[in-house]
Amino acid sequence: MADPIGIEIRNLYKIFGPNPAAHVEAVRAGMTKAELQARHGHVLGLRDINISIAPGSIQVIMGLSGSGKSTLIRHINRLIEPTAGEIIIEGQNVVAMPPEALRAFRRHKTAMVFQKFALLPHRTVLDNAAYGLEVQGVPEAERYRTAMRWIERVGLKGFEKSYPSQLSGGMQQRVGLARALVNDAPILLMDEAYSALDPLIRYDMQTVLLDLQKEVRKTIVFITHDLDEALRIGDRIALLRDGCVIQQGSAQDIVLRPADDYVANFVQHVDRGKVLKVASIMVEPSGAEAPPEAAIDPEARVADALQKMAVLRLQSLRVEAPDGRTLGHLPFQAAIDAYTGQQGAR
């Protein structure tokens, strides 16, 4: 299994048009997207993007249509050429890679899962999953053995001889995920991978991804316009608007401390109980009174804490670290206030 690697995106700009380099300085100086379009007939895709993605983490890039999220992910493997900026991976600037090095980077360091599956219709599930290894020249027996292992891992055992047209949308996306994992690339790029799926299938595929991530520990960049999906799977989230990052942080950061009214509107209908963790709202131990008998993990969700208090008919829970240390306690009222948005993080 390839070791996870981080990604550093620094001062990245993308301007679409016949002479983009001529307008970078104007955009750096503050020219808006609308002004660039009106005065020069160019389109601003990305403005000064700076994102640090930790090895083995899931970085979600989210925003509405036209925000720049799909443009951004395609810069990581340079399917789109940037106008300015750097993308540093393993100490190398992807933007400056010569063609041969770039081909090797795409082949061995990154894999991509697309919204529209992009399966080869005339090939079986097994052949689709093994395709990347075939391109690399891996012998047939070895590539089929590897592909079959991942087909089983994504829940498609028994369908390896089927063709894409014989599969449901969710099953086709499982093939796409298996194909990406077969190459054992350390970076997995997922561009609206689940957006075309029905809600229940989409939730199931999110679960498949999260379960697989515990095993494979890829560095995953996941594009979505769905906030619930972003909050569920992202270790960190970057929210884009008009080609700019307007806020980035953990799910809790964004829900508890929205950067502006735009972000606040985005998160106002979120089920906070499923996002906020006990550690973010617990009360520090005071020593003035005995801690509650029933304990809960600091990483547990507030919704789980409320359910436990309701079942046990308690007014508070002891917050206990995995090593048994008491970190604090969670009063029922504090949990309710956090759930309803009346209380922020400590």
Retrieve residue 258's tokens. 């929205």
Give the whole-angstrom CA distance, residue 189 versus residue 114.
9
Residue 267: what pLDDT? Answer: 85
Four-way CATH pick for 273-340: 3.90.870.30, 3.90.1280.20, 3.50.50.60, 3.30.300.30: 3.90.1280.20
Taking Cα atoms as reference points, which of 192, 209, 195, 232 lies closest to residue 69?
192
pLDDT at residue 343 above 70?
no
pLDDT at residue 280 above 90?
no
Residue 285 pLDDT level (bands cut at 50, 70, 90): confident
Max Cα separation, the chain? 71
Residue 94: what pLDDT? Answer: 97
Ramachandran assignment for 319, one of left (phi > 0), alpha (psi -120 to 50 degrees), beta (any other):
beta
Retrieve residue 38's tokens. 């009106």
Taking Cα atoms as reference points, which of 56, 137, 53 lies closest to residue 94?
53
Residue 345 pLDDT level (bands cut at 50, 70, 90): very low
Classify 8 as helix, strand or coil. Answer: strand
Mean pLDDT to the nearest integer, 69-76? 95
Residue 284 pLDDT level (bands cut at 50, 70, 90): confident
Residue 289 pLDDT level (bands cut at 50, 70, 90): low
Give the whole-angstrom CA distance, residue 62 versus residue 116.
18
Residue 291: what pLDDT? Answer: 67
| Helix (H) or strand (E) run with residue 211 in it | helix 199-216
Half-sphere exposure of 8 (CA within 13 A, CB side): 8
Residue 287: what pLDDT? Answer: 63
Buried b (16+ CB within 10 A) or exposed e, 86-101: ebebeeeebbebeeee
> What is the percent of the chain with per-residue pLDDT over 90, rounded to a whole number?
68
pLDDT digits (tens, 9 = 90+) for 208-223: 999 999 999 999 999 9
- What angle, 0 to 180 degrees and rounded to 10, lies between the N-to-C axes of helices 302-312 and 332-340? 140
Judge contact between 146 and 115, C-beta under 8 A. Answer: no
Mean pLDDT to the nearest integer, 35-57? 96
Residue 17 pLDDT level (bands cut at 50, 70, 90): very high
Per CATH, the number for 7-109+185-270 is: 3.40.50.300
Phi, psi (deg, nearest 5) at residue 157: -60, 130
Residue 136 pLDDT level (bands cut at 50, 70, 90): confident
Ramachandran assignment for 192, one of left (phi > 0), alpha (psi -120 to 50 degrees), beta (any other):
left
- Strand 84-89 and strand 7-16: the pairing is antiparallel
- In one-letter notation, the amino acid at residue 198 is D
Average pLDDT, the chain: 91
Residue 346: what pLDDT? Answer: 44
Alpha-helical (H) ranges within 68-113 are: 69-76, 99-108
User: What Rg do the C-alpha atoms of the chain give, in angstroms?
Assistant: 23
pLDDT at residue 44 above 80?
yes
Segments making up each domain of the chain, as ranges: 7-109+185-270, 273-340
pLDDT digits (tens, 9 = 90+) for 247-271: 999 988 898 889 999 898 888 888 8
Work out whether the CA dihedral 234, 195, 71, 130 comes out positive or negative: positive
Give the whole-angstrom CA distance, residue 9 versus residue 261.
26
Phi, psi (deg, nearest 5) at residue 110: -130, 150
Work out whether the CA dihedral 247, 43, 72, 26 comes out positive or negative: negative
Q: How far is CA 64 from CA 34, 109, 206, 223, 227, in A?
A: 17, 29, 20, 11, 10
Give the whole-angstrom CA distance, residue 313 versus residue 102.
60
- List the beta bridge partners of residue 59: 221, 236
Give the whole-angstrom CA distance, residue 205 versus residue 227.
16
Give the whole-angstrom CA distance, residue 151 versus residue 25.
49
